[in-house]
Structure 1
Amino acid sequence: MSLTTFNNFDIDNNIKKAIRNMGFEEPTPIQELTIPEAVKGKDIIGQAQTGSGKTLAYGIPILQKIFIKDKSPQAIIICPTRELSIQVANEISRLGSNIKNLKVLPVYGGQPIGRQIRVLNKGVHIVIGTPGRILDHIERGTLDLIGIETVVLDEADEMLDMGFREDIEQILRHTPKQRQTLLFSATIPDDIKRIAKFYQRDPKHLKIDSKQMTVPEISEFYYNLKDRDKLDGLTRLIDVYDINLGLVFCNTKKRVDYVVRHLKSRGYSVDGIHGDMKQKIRDKVMNKFRNGNIEILVATDVAARGIDVPNVQAVFNYDVPQNPEYYVHRIGRTARAGNVGYAFTFVNGKEHHMLNNIRNVTKSSIKKQQIPSYKEMEEIRNGLIFDEVKNIIEKDDLKNYTKAVKKYTRKNYTTLEVAAALLKMVKDD
């Protein structure tokens, strides 16, 4: 784990505060490599997978040099899809939430162009969008790139695969030659190298190896559930797996409050934390969870990185996280110190594309399961105990225990009978 924190970077305190509010403490590998170089104004080729934290890697350097009083576009971020454009715009807005009067605008097809033109006419500092819609605005004269200081090509290989090369080059030709160009791509094919050669100045190639991001000790499952069925699914799994220390993650503060309220009404020992709560109250709730005074903690991603409790048995993704990095940070709260851990993700129809993205990036096997019926609970509980037994056999020194078992099985009882009695003791406890 890196010893670097965002406080080590030479960036504005307003940005650092926003990063803390977003729940980030340590930079990801691509952020650690990219931010110091990009803040100095250098051109960069950043090679990293989706979900590696690229948005902060280029968003922080962009915000660091925005001049608020100049209301013309100073940075443009080109993305392959409308979904990514919206996601990046949201992330940049959160990152710049403490910068007064900052204007960020996503532009993409499928949204009325008139609405985008009206916002552009009022003044925008950062424009994020797809190549086609950006070019449309340039050709209409509604987007002037004369004052652009930074250009970002996000998921450049994806854009080239989609046939956007000519559009990208045309956009770049409308920007000043003295701009900074940050190019991010999972792969660096020849076409990307050509773009880098023609449109970048002595770029630094910063590469992060694609590796499995998840923790092997975590058993990962997902359940197809409509929103209205998620609460019942959650309570059933808490009961089946006999969770006495579990984390439930939601995407919004409103959802956290909803889940906490309904779990309390069903008799669960639960509390929640999110960004609208004062730090003092959040700390108080965290201490209750850490000390085992509450069994279930419900949280937004703001809290994801700050939670370091060793015996969390399971993480529940009540909502599918919005990117793979959040998923990795969420489920990393369980399976600490050699313990077995479980990650359960609830997926409604609209969330399937997000789950597929997580699976592709993390390369993890997230198995589909059905919420168990009451009849199936007994079998699952037995399986859980034997999973724990297997873990102990593989990791612990059992010499003294095997001696004790041998001693008793020499008398009137078989090893099988002793094992069965021990299972009954554990279940009745």
Structure 2
Amino acid sequence: MNKFEQLGLNESLLLAIKDLGFENPSEVQEKAIPVLLEQNTDLVALAQTGTGKTAAFGFPLIQKINVEDRSTQALILSPTRELCLQITNEIKLYSKYIKGLNTVAVYGGASITDQARDIRRGAQVIVATPGRMQDMINRGLVNIKNISICILDEADEMLNMGFYDDIVSILSDTPDDKNTWLFSATMPAEVARIAKKFMKDPAEVTVGHKNSGSKTVSHEFYLVNARDRYEALKRLADSNPDIFSVVFCRTKRDTQSVAEKLIEDGYSAAALHGDLSQAQRDGVMKSFRGRQIQMLVATDVAARGIDVENITHVVNYQLPDEIETYNHRSGRTGRAGKTGTSIVIITKSELRKISSIERIIQQKFQEKTIPSGIEICEIQLLHLANKIKDTEIDHEIDNYLPAINEVLDGLTKEELIKKMVSVEFNRFIAYYKKNRDLSGSNSGERSERSTSPREFKSGDDVRYFINIGSRDDFDWMQLKDFIKETLDLGRDDVFKVDVKEGFSFFNTDGEHMTKVMETLNGFDMNGRRINVEISKNEGGGGSRNSPRRDHNGRGGRSDRGSGGGGGFRGRSDSGSRDSSGGGRNFTKRDSSAPASERKRTSSSDEAPRRERKSSDGESKGFFEKAKRSRRSE
């Protein structure tokens, strides 16, 4: 007996389930479906991505729809176009034996007039992204005032993308007596606020522990120097020849750059980010689903809604700004009971984040070392041997065997094997012979923290001199963004930024000192070689515990956005602050910033006198260094 029959589903749904090949319900389906069928109740369901949440709400939703009534009875909100289309297609598959049930997808990037027409023809179920749904409500193109069910899928993702106001507005346009079903992987404060405001005594379903990660995913981290991050990614790919992965970067610029490097190095890779057109995104995803692409390099926003089977690895090339986002990244692998691996490439300054993630996912990371060149060559050699062994023979080659035997005549079996393997294998030997191993470059116990001869520790402020300034088209805000993005630092990790004509000063916590010196020294910025030194001057004073102040004397509130670009949270990847534009190809100014934020520079007359005096003192000590640095280029 099919276990779905025990959940109370009707015959039409059971027929569709049989066609789809579903045999046993997942845990979230087993827990949620009976509750939603037997009760008219609100529901909060916490379960990881890939655990079958769409069927968990889709089956009971379909069974509750009155197909004789052509009006809109249910609304499903999801964070992205991809997920919106995916849910729509699945609802249509589940309801294939229910005549008269119509489901319409509503999302940006397509004709709003066509979508409104499809709804007018009779759509009992609307699946929508919040932005487009709010637009349609504002234009009077849709009526959801009489719906009986509202479903929030991937609620934490929608709120993380900045849709809180839209969701509140949309829900306010629905009846008070409707049932709200909220499905989410985590329960951050904003999701809890939505539940409290719009739900009444909701039933609760939790798969695993609240906010925990999937048990089918193992977690590993590799400790490297910042300059070796790409080389580490390359070696991890080489040591997993059958890798089929999503590689996550924090910015569009890094996503494009990493994908281009992988392609140049011979990997089947592609970038997925908000600067791509919808046609380009669709093309990339089609190739990825068809496995023509082995490594998809993506930003978090662009990857939301990706549901591709059998992803073997998720690679965190850079950790996300919001630690909770890691849960969504790792949920791309280990789906449908299969195992997967989530890899994190980090530097010493980021080690503390591993413990934070462990607390959230309630699982431990395994620290591993980057495989050596010899180890990678052994792995690739055995992989090639197995590939040859498992290859099916195409007997059309038989006609050419006499000529081939003539060419290979005189070779022993051992010589022939060596030559066959060397055809594909020699490039690995050649590459790793001349490249150093990374395994010992930054290894150490997790509790280890980077120090310098001056023994800077976490909690100490370190002041730096850097040989770029306003002459290079930087103001304090742009320089801060550039340093943060180049070093993968958080929004408050760079402070007391003071920009002069040919040089500048900035501060970080002591734990970032090694990363700053290793990454920025020698960095090539459009032909300008960057030089960084530690300043002996504290640059305006102020303890670590006092409110941080940039050079202009304001409190440290200049970066409250979530992105690596700093400043202002956006709803979508294409609308967020990023480093893909601008004259230096490092930062793109956000025109939505208040004019007072954008126009202030380090020479502002509003800067307090004591702050200017301090930095002027520094200027005298480093002016000659800047001139020498200019002359040496």
Normalised by the shorter chain, which TM-score bucket? 0.5 to 0.7
Distance (Å, rounded) in 1 between the aligned partners of 2:120 and 2:188: 38
- Report the equivalent of 2:551: none
Aligned partner letter, 2:291 = V
Structure 2 matches for 1:24-423, cutoff 5 A?
24-39=22-37, 40-209=39-208, 210-213=213-216, 221-222=242-243, 347-349=291-293, 352=296, 354=308, 355=311, 356=314, 360-362=332-334, 364-365=340-341, 376-377=384-385
- 1:162 CA drift (Å): 0.5
Distance (Å, rounded) in 2 between the aligned partners of 1:321 and 1:6: 32
Q: Is the 8 A contact 1:4 1:32 kept in 2?
A: no
- 1:377 CA drift (Å): 2.0
Q: Is the 8 A contact 1:107 1:129 kept in 2?
A: yes
Aligned partner letter, 2:25 = P
Give 1 or 2 for the bigger CA radius of gyration. Answer: 2
Which sections of structure 2, spanning at least 5 residues, go unmatched? 220-239, 246-285, 297-305, 315-328, 344-375, 391-633
What CA deviation, in whole Å up to 9, does each residue of 1:89-109 have, x standing for no partner? 000100001000211011000
- 1:171 CA drift (Å): 0.6
For the structure 1 residues 130 and 350, does the alpha-carbon distance in structure 2 shift closer, same or farther, using more than 3 Å as the test?
Answer: farther
Question: Taking every aligned residue pair, what percent have the same amino acid on both sides?
Answer: 35
For the structure 1 residues 377 and 159, does the alpha-carbon distance in structure 2 shift closer, same or farther, using more than 3 Å as the test?
Answer: same
Q: Is the 8 A contact 2:244 2:295 kept in 1?
A: no
Distance (Å, rounded) in 1 between the aligned partners of 2:47 and 2:241: 24
For the structure 1 residues 33 and 351, does the alpha-carbon distance in structure 2 shift closer, same or farther, using more than 3 Å as the test?
Answer: farther
Aligned partner letter, 1:349 = I
Distance (Å, rounded) in 1 between the aligned partners of 2:58 and 2:387: 49
Distance (Å, rounded) in 2 between the aligned partners of 1:25 and 1:206: 21
- 1:349 CA drift (Å): 3.2
Q: Is the 8 A contact 2:243 2:294 kept in 1?
A: no
Q: Is the 8 A contact 2:47 2:206 kept in 1?
A: yes
Could you tell which deviates more after superposition, 9-18 or 76-85?
9-18
Q: Is the 8 A contact 1:72 1:123 kept in 2?
A: yes
Q: Is the 8 A contact 2:28 2:51 kept in 1?
A: yes
- Report the equivalent of 1:13: 11
Q: Secondary structure of the residue that 1:349 maps to in structure 2?
A: coil
What CA deviation, in whole Å up to 9, does each residue of 1:338-373 have, x standing for no partner? xxxxxxxx7223983644567644272399x99989
Q: Which has the higher helix share?
A: 1
Q: Secondary structure of the residue that 1:105 maps to in structure 2?
A: strand
For the structure 1 residues 189 and 373, does the alpha-carbon distance in structure 2 shift closer, same or farther, using more than 3 Å as the test?
Answer: closer
Distance (Å, rounded) in 2 between the aligned partners of 1:32 and 1:195: 25
TM-score by length of 2: 0.38
Q: Is the 8 A contact 2:150 2:179 kept in 1?
A: yes
- 1:61 CA drift (Å): 1.2
Which sections of structure 1, spanning at least 5 residues, go unmatched? 225-318, 323-345, 383-429
Q: Secondary structure of the residue that 2:105 maps to in structure 1?
A: strand
Aligned partner letter, 1:144 = N
For the structure 1 residues 381 and 351, does the alpha-carbon distance in structure 2 shift closer, same or farther, using more than 3 Å as the test?
Answer: closer
For the structure 1 residues 54 and 374, does the alpha-carbon distance in structure 2 shift closer, same or farther, using more than 3 Å as the test?
Answer: closer
Q: Secondary structure of the residue that 1:205 maps to in structure 2?
A: strand
For the structure 1 residues 106 and 62, does the alpha-carbon distance in structure 2 shift closer, same or farther, using more than 3 Å as the test?
Answer: same
TM-score by length of 1: 0.55
For the structure 1 residues 136 and 366, does the alpha-carbon distance in structure 2 shift closer, same or farther, using more than 3 Å as the test?
Answer: closer
Distance (Å, rounded) in 2 between the aligned partners of 1:375 and 1:60: 43
Aligned partner letter, 1:221 = D
Distance (Å, rounded) in 2 between the aligned partners of 1:139 and 1:94: 31
Q: Is the 8 A contact 1:44 1:206 kept in 2?
A: yes
Q: Is the 8 A contact 1:153 1:183 kept in 2?
A: yes
Q: Is the 8 A contact 2:151 2:182 kept in 1?
A: yes
Could you tell which deviates more after superposition, 172-181 or 36-45?
36-45
Over 3 Å off, 4+ runs: 319-322, 349-361, 369-376, 378-382
- Report the equivalent of 2:467: none
Distance (Å, rounded) in 2 between the aligned partners of 1:134 and 1:117: 11
What CA deviation, in whole Å up to 9, does each residue of 1:395-415 have, x standing for no partner? xxxxxxxxxxxxxxxxxxxxx
